[in-house]
Each structure stands twice: as C-alpha cells, then as structure tokens.
Amino acid sequence: MAPRPVLLTIDDDPEVLRAVERDLRRKYGQEYRVLRADSAKSAMALLEELKRRGDPVALLLADQRMPETNGVDFLERAMPLAPGAKRVLLTAYADTDAAIQAINKVRIHYYLMKPWDPPEQNLYPYLTDLLEDWRSTYRPPFDGIRIIGNRWSPRAHRIRDFLGRNTIPFQWLDLDTSGEARDLLAMLAQPSAEDKSASATRHEGHDARTLTPPVVLFPDGSYVADPELPELASHIGLRTQAERPFYDLLVVGGGPAGLAAAVYGASEGLKTLLVEREAPGGQAGTSSNIENYLGFPTGLTGADLARRAVAQARKFGAELLTPQEVRGIRTQGTYRVLTLGDGSEVSSRVILVATGVEYRKLGVPGDDALTGRGVYYGASLTEALTCRGEDIYVVGGGNSAGQAAVYFAQFARSVSIIVRGDGLAESMSQYLIDQLNAVPNIRVLSRTRVAAVEGDGHLERVTLVCDAETRTVPAASLFVFIGAVPRTDWLGDLVQRDEFGFILTGPDLPRAEGRPAAWPLARDPYLLETNVPGVFSAGDVRHQSVKRVASAVGEGAIAVQFTHRYLAET
C-alpha cells in the first residue's frame, strides 16, 4: 500500500505545535500522516528521511518566529527536499509584511494568522483548498526498491538483472538522464544532521560521503552502496545459508529441471534443498515468452513460470538458497557432500546436478571490456526499457534470439538479427519466424557475423562482416545468443563428462566388458544416474539432452523417482 502523504508542521513553541498537530489530525488524519518538528533542524532531518523513503509530502506548515531560523528561510531551504509540497507560513499579526514578501520570494502558497480558532473558519477552508490542489497534480511515488546508477555500469546491470530475475519490482533511476536520481544521490552523500550522530550504523557502515553508485534504496529509507548480490539478497529476504547440515536430496541449479525436482522431491516427503547461483528459472527465466510449454496456449513468460515453480516448491517445504553457488562435490562413504560459495558444506544421500548451460562468448575484440556495458549475453529483459527508441542488434539464429527480437521490437526503434547462415529456417521454429516476419521494425542480416565491438566506456559501434564486405555501424546494445556451453568444472574428476563438458548418465556412460568402468554396484546405473551412485543429472547439462523446458521439467521429475529407489536400496 502506498504511504499516506505527509503534513508536516514546524514550531518551537510546544503548545502551539501540539495545537496545530491536533487540529490537522482531526480534519485530515484519515487521509494524511500528520508529523511535527520542534525545530527547523529536526524538520530538515525528517524531510531527508522522507525523501530517502520516497514518502510524499503534501504540506509544510511553518511558524515564522523560531529561534535559530525563521519560517520563510526554512520553507526556502526545504523546497529541494519536498518540491511538490504546499508551503504555508504561520504568522503573528506583526509579521504580516514579512509573510507577504515571502509569497513572492520563496513562492509561499499561503500565510495563516495566529490564533486560527475556530479552525473550521480560519484554518480548514484554506488548507483544504491547497490540499485539493496538491492532490490534483499528485502522482503516487513508486513504493518499492529504487536503484540509482549509471546505465553503462556492469555492476548496476547485474543488480537490475538479479532483482528482475528474482521478480522483485524496482524503479531504475539513471544518473545520466534523471535529475531526481542525481538529487537523491547528492542528498544521500551529504552527511545530514542525523548522519553525523546515529546513521553510520543504520546505513550498514557506509561513509555517506564516499557513496559509490549503484545505490540500492529500500522502502524503509535504508540503503546499500555498490552491494554484492548476497548482501542485497539478505536485505530482500532471500536465504543463502542452509537450515540443516543434512538433507535427503540436494539439487544444484534452479532452472526448470532443478525446480521440478524440488517440487516433486518435497511434495513426496524428501527433505529437499535447492542451491541456485543467480535466480530461480535458469535460462527459461530469461525467456520473454515460452509458447510451446504444455498447458499454456498463449504462452507465459519465463519469470512467471519461475515464480509459480518457486511458490510451489516452497509450499511443499523445499528450501531454496539463492544466490549461492556450488563450488565442489565429494563423497564420504554413502554421503554426498557439496561445498558452497561461502565455504560451508551440506550433505545428503542423493545429489541432482541440474546446472544447465551458459551462453557462449562472442570472442571478438572489445567483447570482454564491453560485456554488461551494451554487450549482453542472454535476453537481459531488464534492459528493454533502456533501449527505448534505439537501434539494437541481436546475434544468433535460434529460438531464444527470435523471442528476444520480438520482445525488444516493442521498445527499440529497430532490431537487426545477425545470423551467419542464409536465413533462420534451419535454426528457428516456424512459429517464431512467422512472428518476426509480421513485425515491421525487425530485419534479418543473413550471412553476417560480428567481427568487433567498440566504444568508450560503453558500446558505440559494431563491426559486421557480410560475405567479403566489412562495415562498422553505430550501436548501443547488442544481445548475444550463439549457443551454450555447460559449466561443470566444479565436478572435478568425480563425475564423468563428454568432451564438451556435458554430464554422462545411464546408458551413455563408457563401458568395459558390458559394465560402466569402476561402477561399484551390482545393478546398472539408472537412466539419469552418473558414474557415482546417488549422483544424478537432469536437463540441459546432461549429455545429448533435449534442450527444452518440458524435457528439463520431465527429467527433474524422473530424477526424483530414481532418488526414491536409490534411498530404498541403501
């Protein structure tokens, strides 16, 4: 619920202050929050806090005669902190001249005479009129997390992407284009009266004077500057540490395969822990529209699928750690042990590796320096709004590139799809090709490859090679979808993989004399079981798997059936 707008009254005389507050509450207390301050200094501190929290201020009602400053000066100083608020001066008869001059000087909206009794006659009519005026132009503020940063900062991109993929709504305030963003950052960087005393601890120990963007501002007014993802995760209530040392089933990876395993495992009574490095949903979570998943004829976004799956897994009691990376695996007798990114360990009898794949890099000059600064791997749906009105490029001819092009075309002026082949027919589903053809601002550059990316601090130019012709075109955003590779190095020598790093399971395991090499059990490995009994693999990371959401989900569910069998036999 959006916070109620604030009416702030300021007076050094405690009796007058209480009386104004009482009368304001009586008439406006339902609709507005009435706050009071006994000095200009404390009022400024309060306004700073309200600004940090994004709470709207509708009215400032200040007494003209105060010891350390007068009401006019206060209202003038308060303007940048509450620019939209109506400013009203409370004066004695003797100060009427000063009040009239102030109307011109600091654009005071009204002055009221003390005493104002009866308020029905001398206070409410004027204030109601001003507040109605304020309401007519008031737009409720964004009531959630705000991020202040530079569009081209990879750190800011990472935070936006992380929040977006965890379906946490946020408002992006760009320092390059938004005056509000710059004002807010400047205010946070100023040591306020309060900061000097108490807030050093309140703001996580950051020295407000050396505030490095991106800054993440929470609805309660607290903030963190340039946070690491685990720090941010703890602020938004995501767990990164396991509750117990031992589980029935440990799932590595929170894509469709891992989430399905968590849902089926937990719903069938297994104590299940899922560890996800970035955000639940995996590759599917970055899809703008999955149209071929059973039961969703009009499609659904990957974020929606992930959100539903997470809710379902939690409902059945699965524990999710995110963002948390698995860095190592070992066996200890019948126990299977995982080492996490923070050095802690969790163990179980069964582990499911469902770590999927990651995008292959372009590998052209400039790529490393500009990744996250205009060159993006994957759909990065959170970047769509910043591409509004621009000419953007999508590299790749697969379904993921096609989906992204259709999505970005809603925001960008034009979308150019760069493909090496003669067209899209070999690599993209027909339904997506039909969609692309129907969007006028999408074009396909066939027999073309990216040779270099350049720019000073962010992407500015892309060099394209088509047949024998090379040309350099201006570009601000390039989204790359050129195939994917598994990242399975953390499995060390324990789990066998093929030459590309995909995990071998069941019938695919190399055999000697009819049996998998060094396999210790009398039975053969199950369909999704690796060369280590009790360590299973599902989804895109598995050798020769079908790279589809439905098959990943199916394999995750099947892996749970094998888990039951394995637990029963051990």
Ligand X SMILES: Cc1cc2nc3c(=O)[nH]c(=O)nc-3n(C[C@H](O)[C@H](O)[C@H](O)COP(=O)(O)OP(=O)(O)OC[C@H]3O[C@@H](n4cnc5c(N)ncnc54)[C@H](O)[C@@H]3O)c2cc1C
Where does this chain bind ligand X (CB under 6 A)? 252-258, 275-278, 282-284, 286-287, 290-292, 325-326, 354-357, 379, 399-400, 403, 487, 490, 539-541, 547-550, 552
What b/e string do you get for 302-337 counting C-beta neighbours within 10 Å, with b at 16 or more?
Answer: bbbbbbebbebbeebebbbbbbbbbeebeeeeeebb
CB of 288 to ligand X, least distance (A): 7
CB of 302 to ligand X, least distance (A): 7
Smaller CB separation from ligand X, 64 or 537: 537
Q: Which residues on adjacent β-strands are paired with residue 418?
A: 395, 445
Radius of gyration of the chain (CA): 30
> Kind of pairing, strands 145-149 and 469-474?
unpaired
Smaller CB separation from ligand X, 267 or 429: 429
CB of 552 to ligand X, least distance (A): 3
CB of 276 to ligand X, least distance (A): 5
For residue 252, the surrounding DSSP H or E stretch is: strand 246-252
State how far the Cα of 269 lies from the Cα of 15, in Å rounded to an integer.
64
CB of 350 to ligand X, least distance (A): 17
Smaller CB separation from ligand X, 192 or 380: 380
Chain-centroid distance, C-alpha 274? 20
Q: Which residues on adjacent β-strands are paired with residue 463?
A: 452, 472
Query: How far is CA 419 from each of CA 400, 427, 446, rounded to the nearest angstrom?
Result: 13, 10, 5
Beta strands in 39-163 (DSSP E): 57-63, 86-91, 110-113, 145-149
CB of 559 to ligand X, least distance (A): 11
Closest CA to 393 of 405, 403, 402: 405
For residue 71, the surrounding DSSP H or E stretch is: helix 71-78
CB of 538 to ligand X, least distance (A): 7
Smaller CB separation from ligand X, 283 or 416: 283
CB of 163 to ligand X, least distance (A): 15
CB of 334 to ligand X, least distance (A): 23
Smaller CB separation from ligand X, 142 or 490: 490
Smaller CB separation from ligand X, 466 or 546: 546
Quickly list DSSP for 535-563.
Answer: EEE-GGGBTT---SHHHHHHHHHHHHHHH
Question: What does the block give as tokens for 330?
Answer: 């070992």
Residues 6+ apart with CB under 8 A from 293: 299, 300, 305, 549, 550
CB of 321 to ligand X, least distance (A): 9
Residue 69 amino acid letter? T
Smaller CB separation from ligand X, 160 or 277: 277
Give yes or no for a contact between 403 and 289, defined as CB atoms under 8 angstroms apart. Answer: yes
> Kind of pairing, strands 215-217 and 223-225?
antiparallel
State how far the Cα of 253 lies from the Cα of 259, in Å rounded to an integer.
8
Smaller CB separation from ligand X, 355 or 382: 355
Question: What does the block give as tokens for 276?
Answer: 């996800």
Smaller CB separation from ligand X, 34 or 379: 379
CB of 193 to ligand X, least distance (A): 45
Smaller CB separation from ligand X, 172 or 479: 479
Residue 58, phi then psi, degrees to nearest 5: -95, -30
Smaller CB separation from ligand X, 340 or 464: 340
Closest CA to 306 of 255, 342, 247, 239: 255
State how far the Cα of 401 lies from the Cα of 304, in Å rounded to an integer.
19
For residue 465, the surrounding DSSP H or E stretch is: strand 461-466
Give yes or no for a contact between 377 and 367, defined as CB atoms under 8 angstroms apart. Answer: no
CB of 291 to ligand X, least distance (A): 6
HSE (side-chain half, CA atoms, 13 Å) at 82? 30
Give yes or no for a contact between 474 and 456, defined as CB atoms under 8 angstroms apart. Answer: no
Residue 335, phi then psi, degrees to nearest 5: -85, 145
Smaller CB separation from ligand X, 283 or 347: 283
Residues 6+ apart with CB under 8 A from 373: 152, 153, 154, 157, 455, 457, 458, 459
CB of 563 to ligand X, least distance (A): 16
Smaller CB separation from ligand X, 487 or 564: 487
